[in-house]
């Protein structure tokens, strides 16, 4: 009897150890009530890019949500644990608002998802051809611009850069005014100026459809107030990667080419297509690219390789 009990005990221990080692090899399945919260600012590029990531995760069986925020509110939400992921950290442009949260240990970078990005003060071609080719030229032609530079929403880093330049008299801009607006409002002013032949200065960026739709040029920045060429990072609230390592791995592998994002932005911002429609169409048509993003990633069940799950989903 003792021998039988000993044998049973050994078998039970062996089964427990075997299950433990199997658990180490498998990806953990997502809890049914676990929701991945994406935050984004309402810029076309980050809106569609976030939708692309959300579409992939949705097809892998994860529950996701997307919510738009003002930039500083978004970072505060990540610091409070209310937002998990943000794919639009433009650096060095966002240094002012982003770094304090990273240094506080509330937000961590995951990876660079776009390596070539530009954020700068632009003028329309009429002004550029007349000699306004540098930030240093703005002062001489202030009257033609109405001493105004159009920006985005209050708190945006580009706005802060220009406001600091005004307050510090950089480029002799002390008599100028920053006109805060939305992206749509700012580009409406650009469109109106182009139709009328008026001059306009505004904060623009690339990739964006504005570079295709309007005759505009970025200004040189000899004082380097805009910093070096930007890169765009994906960031997480601290601790998210430990909680969801499978999702973290996917997010760390998403790399976007400028021409892809130009295409997304044009379809969303100019052709006014729904971002979810653009994302689903693009993912389904570009599984060869997505395959690199999901290498070593599993579906939410923790067993099915992600590419296999996506191929099955988009074959239906």
> Is 126 inside any structural domain?
yes
Question: In terms of residue numbers, what domain contains 178?
Answer: 118-218
Separation of alpha carbons 137 and 159, rounded Å:
19
Judge if 163 and 309 occupy the same domain: no
Query: Are 249 and 210 found together in one domain?
Result: no
Together in a domain, 109 and 236? yes
Please say which residue of 187, 218, 249 terminates a domain: 218
Q: Is residue 210 part of a domain?
A: yes
CATH of the domain at 291: 3.40.190.10
Instruction: Enter the pTM of the model.
Output: 0.70
Tally Cβ neighbours within 10 Å of residue 154: 13
> Are 240 and 111 part of one and the same domain?
yes
pLDDT attached to residue 21: 38
Domain final position from 218, 239, 255: 218
**Are 153 and 207 found together in one domain?**
yes
* Residue 256, in any domain of the structure: yes
**pLDDT value, residue 114:** 95
CB 195 within 8 A of CB 46: no
214 shares a domain with 123: yes
Q: What are the φ/ψ torsions at residue 302 (nearest 5 degrees)?
A: 80, 5
| pLDDT value for 6 | 40
Query: What's the CATH code of the domain at 128?
Result: 3.40.190.100
Is residue 5 domain-resident? no
Chain CA centroid to CA 60, Å? 21
Considering the domain architecture, whether residues 142 and 104 belong to the same structural domain is answered as: no
- Residue 3: CB atoms within 10 A of its CB come to 7
Taking CA 150 as the corner, what is the angle to CA 145 and CA 154, rounded to the nearest 5 degrees? Answer: 150
Q: Is 60 among the domain residues? A: yes
Whether 169 and 102 have beta carbons less than 8 Å apart is answered as no
Contact 109, 89 (CB under 8 A): yes
> What is the C-alpha R_g of the chain?
24
210 shares a domain with 123: yes
At residue 12, the pLDDT reads 40
Final residue before a domain boundary, out of 175, 193, 218: 218
Say if residue 81 is in the same domain as residue 162: no
Task: Compute the distance between CA of residue 187 and CA of residue 115 in angstroms, rounded to an integer.
Answer: 25
Based on the fold, state whether residues 108 and 122 are members of the same structural domain. Answer: no
Instruction: Determine the straight-line distance between the first and last CA of the chain, rounded to whole angstroms.
Output: 58
Is residue 110 included in any domain, yes or no? yes
pLDDT score of 212 = 82
Whether residue 104 is found in the same domain as residue 237: yes
Res 19: pLDDT: 41
Instruction: Give residue 262's pLDDT.
Output: 85
CB count within 10 Å of CB 158 equals 23
Chunked in runs of 10, what are the mean pLDDT values of the chain (316 residues)? 42 41 41 80 93 98 96 95 96 85 96 91 97 98 98 91 97 97 94 96 92 93 89 97 97 94 90 96 97 98 97 90
Domain count, the chain: 2
212 and 124, same structural domain? Answer: yes
- Report residue 155 as tokens: 């708190």
């Amino acid at each position: 009897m003792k021998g039988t009990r000993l044998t049973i005990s050994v078998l039970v221990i062996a089964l427990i150890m075997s299950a433990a080692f199997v658990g180490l090899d498998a990806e953990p399945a997502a809890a049914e009530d676990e929701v991945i919260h994406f935050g984004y600012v309402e810029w076309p590029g980050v809106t569609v890019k976030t939708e692309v990531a959300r579409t992939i995760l949705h097809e892998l069986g994860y529950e996701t949500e997307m919510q738009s925020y003002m930039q500083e509110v978004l970072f505060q939400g990540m610091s409070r644990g209310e937002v998990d992921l943000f794919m639009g950290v433009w650096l060095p442009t966002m240094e002012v608002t982003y770094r304090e949260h990273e240094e506080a240990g509330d937000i961590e970078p995951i990876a660079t998802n776009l390596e070539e990005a530009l954020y700068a003060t632009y003028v329309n071609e009429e002004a550029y051809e007349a000699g306004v080719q540098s930030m240093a030229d703005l002062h001489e032609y202030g009257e033609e611009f109405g001493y105004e530079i159009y920006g985005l929403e209050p708190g945006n880093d580009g706005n802060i850069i220009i406001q600091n330049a005004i307050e510090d008299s950089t480029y002799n801009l002390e008599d100028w005014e920053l006109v805060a607006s939305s992206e749509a409002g700012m580009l409406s002013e650009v469109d109106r100026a182009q139709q009328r032949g008026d001059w306009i200065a505004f904060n623009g960026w690339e990739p964006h459809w504005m570079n295709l739709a309007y005759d505009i040029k970025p200004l040189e920045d000899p004082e380097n107030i805009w910093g070096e060429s930007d890169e765009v990072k994906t960031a997480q609230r601290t601790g998210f990667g430990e909680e969801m390592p499978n999702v973290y791995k996917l997010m760390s592998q998403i790399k976007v080419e400028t021409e892809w994002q130009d295409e997304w932005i044009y379809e969303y911002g100019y052709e006014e297509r729904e971002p979810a429609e653009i994302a689903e169409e693009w993912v389904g048509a570009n599984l060869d690219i997505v395959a690199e993003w999901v290498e070593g990633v599993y579906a939410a069940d923790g067993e099915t390789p992600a590419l296999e799950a996506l191929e099955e989903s988009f074959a239906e």
